[in-house]
Structure 1
Amino acid sequence: MSWSPRSVSSPFALAALVAANAVPLVGVVWFDWSLKALLVAYWLESGVVGLLNVPKILAASGSGDGGATITASINGQQVDLSPPEEPRDEFHVYASNVPIAGFFAMHYGIFWVVHGVFVWTFDAFAVGDVGGVPLLPVGIAAGATLLSHGGSFVVNFVGREEYRTISPGKQMSEPYRRVIVLHLTIILGAFLVASSGAPAAALVVMVVVKTVLDVAAHLREHARATQRAKKRERDETPPELDARDVST
């Protein structure tokens, strides 16, 4: 597979993602952010990712990508994860996708709360001082993340019509591919940084590694969307008529 960042994601969305990741870096270098402040900022980021995935699920109308084969049960009842029967060309919220979005919100919400419990009780497990959490600066970092992911939603998911090529079931699983690996890496890094006494240099390395992983995950996500769009275009393009088949 060969692709360039420009072909799979808007340059604006990519630049916004890098800028949002730079906010914690500024906090560490110039404002002495603690390890715990970073963990809280990244926990809030995972919440933003999950929150914005709800409207994505509600608007997803594609098929043929494996999403319709996923089964789920809510209160003992099976939830249909198949795409809308009559998808529209324009961005539209489908009532048939509401149970899928609800299941995701419940499941991802549990994951996020458990992650939060770990983050806010991190002092009990860490070696060394993890410090306090400056709420205003961390809130600014969360706001930058919201702008970044919200901008990507508008430019890529809506503007580039990614909603037309992914099923609601498949969209439900997208955040896990990105968030779980990323935040397991962050948690492992947090233990390593804490065990070293949380020096600023170690925090900087942690932020840089997280940024690289985040950018790579962003590009992979939209590369998959580009591949789905190309497949849809091929499937919808009628074959060329052979000149011998045309009667004159």
Structure 2
Amino acid sequence: MRAGKPLGRNHNHCERMSEPKVPASRGTHWPAIVAVAINLAPIIGVAFWGWNAFALIFLYWLENLVIGARTLASMAANATMGGGPGLGIMFYGPAFALHYGLFCLVHGMFVMAMFGNGAWGAGWGDLASAAFALFAKEPNLAAGFASIVFWQVLQFGTFITNGAVNETDQKSLMLSPYPRIVILHLSIIFGGFLLQMLNEPLAGLLVLALLKTAFDVAEAMGKMPDFVAKLKEHAADYGR
């Protein structure tokens, strides 16, 4: 794209869909700094607290649930504060909760079946049991989960204060989490499968956590690879 060329309609829509970002023109790197900070807990957990692949990947799955809650909050804010259709949340909110909830449920069952080593079942009820058991066995997981919640609350606050709440719509917000989940978690699950085959070497788990950190930093700064941007653009077009 040549310098000075106006941004296309699809590009603008895609930017709005991706939710809170600090514009590059402000010259600030605080989103990247915070993204690194919140990913320190998983890195420390692997390096010093003895987390295995299941603990790490299950924590990343829990992050999806927090992202879903933040997305619902963003949709509600758009309906009540951002000039969106007030009744839209009555339809899109439950639709998102049902579809995204089922998506996360199947994803979680797959993680359980693949990385749980038979310690728990692979049904929907077993996810709660696994979560309680993991946090009891690895109480330091609470630090990782708290950092995830903090980051999503911060992103929601930024979404409100930087005006993005006025520049999007219910359908775009509803679709916004999926490109991240599809790309990032397919990579994490594939990497975790390889680590299991290699008996979970520490270096491999650290690489997995560092790759997740790099993804979060790139997303926070709006500098995702082209194929990720195109996937988000297609999702945005579908949401129009």
Fold match by TM threshold 0.5: yes
- Distance in 2, matches of 1:27 and 1:216, equals 22
Q: Secondary structure at the match of 2:200?
A: coil
Q: Secondary structure at the match of 2:140?
A: helix
Q: Secondary structure at the match of 2:188?
A: helix
The 3 A distance-change label for structure 1 pair 102 and 8 is: farther
- Distance in 2, matches of 1:105 and 1:44, equals 15
Partner of residue 125, structure 2 = none
Partner of residue 117, structure 1 = 109
- What is the CA distance between 1:136 and its match in structure 2? 2.0
- Supply the AA of the counterpart residue of 2:67: V
Partner of residue 93, structure 2 = 101
- Distance in 2, matches of 1:94 and 1:8, equals 32
- What is the CA distance between 1:138 and its match in structure 2? 1.6
Give the percent of matched residue pairs that are identical in Structure 1 and Structure 2.
Answer: 28
- Distance in 2, matches of 1:191 and 1:8, equals 40
- What is the CA distance between 1:17 and its match in structure 2? 2.0
Partner of residue 29, structure 1 = 47
Partner of residue 192, structure 1 = 194
- Distance in 2, matches of 1:164 and 1:5, equals 15
Q: Cα deviations across residues 210-248 of structure 1 (Å, max 9, x unaligned)?
A: 1112222333399x9xxxxxxxxxxxxxxxxxxxxxxxx
Q: Check conservation: 1:27, 1:33, Cα contact below 8 A.
A: yes
Partner of residue 167, structure 1 = 169
- Distance in 2, matches of 1:94 and 1:136, equals 41
Worse-matched range after superposition: 146-155 or 92-101: 92-101
- What is the CA distance between 1:57 and its match in structure 2? 1.5
**RMSD between aligned residues:** 3.0
Give ranges in structure 2 of 5+ residues lacking alignment.
4-20, 119-132, 230-240
Q: Cα deviations across residues 9-40 of structure 1 (Å, max 9, x unaligned)?
A: 97444322221111100011111111111011
Q: Check conservation: 1:193, 1:202, Cα contact below 8 A.
A: yes
Q: Check conservation: 1:17, 1:149, Cα contact below 8 A.
A: no
- What is the CA distance between 1:98 and its match in structure 2? 2.3
Q: Check conservation: 2:49, 2:140, Cα contact below 8 A.
A: no
The 3 A distance-change label for structure 1 pair 36 and 8 is: farther
Aligned pairs, number: 189
Q: Secondary structure at the match of 1:103?
A: helix
Q: Check conservation: 2:22, 2:31, Cα contact below 8 A.
A: no
- Distance in 2, matches of 1:44 and 1:104, equals 17
Q: Check conservation: 1:13, 1:148, Cα contact below 8 A.
A: no
The 3 A distance-change label for structure 1 pair 158 and 14 is: farther
The 3 A distance-change label for structure 1 pair 8 and 190 is: farther
Where relative contact order (Cα < 8 A, 6+ residues apart) is larger, the structure is 2
- Distance in 1, matches of 2:54 and 2:25, equals 34
Partner of residue 37, structure 2 = 19
- What is the CA distance between 1:60 and its match in structure 2? 2.6
1:56 aligns with 2:74: yes
- Distance in 1, matches of 2:89 and 2:55, equals 36
- Distance in 1, matches of 2:146 and 2:85, equals 25
Q: Check conservation: 1:13, 1:151, Cα contact below 8 A.
A: no
Partner of residue 56, structure 2 = 38
TM-score by length of 2: 0.69
Give ranges in structure 1 of 5+ residues lacking alignment.
62-83, 126-131, 225-248
Q: Secondary structure at the match of 1:33?
A: coil
Q: Which of 174, 178, 181 is the equivalent residue of 1:179?
A: 181
- What is the CA distance between 1:124 and its match in structure 2? 4.3
Q: Check conservation: 2:75, 2:93, Cα contact below 8 A.
A: yes
1:152 aligns with 2:155: yes
Q: Which has the larger helix fraction?
A: 2
- What is the CA distance between 1:5 and its match in structure 2? 6.6
Superposition map of 1:63-74 within 5 A: none
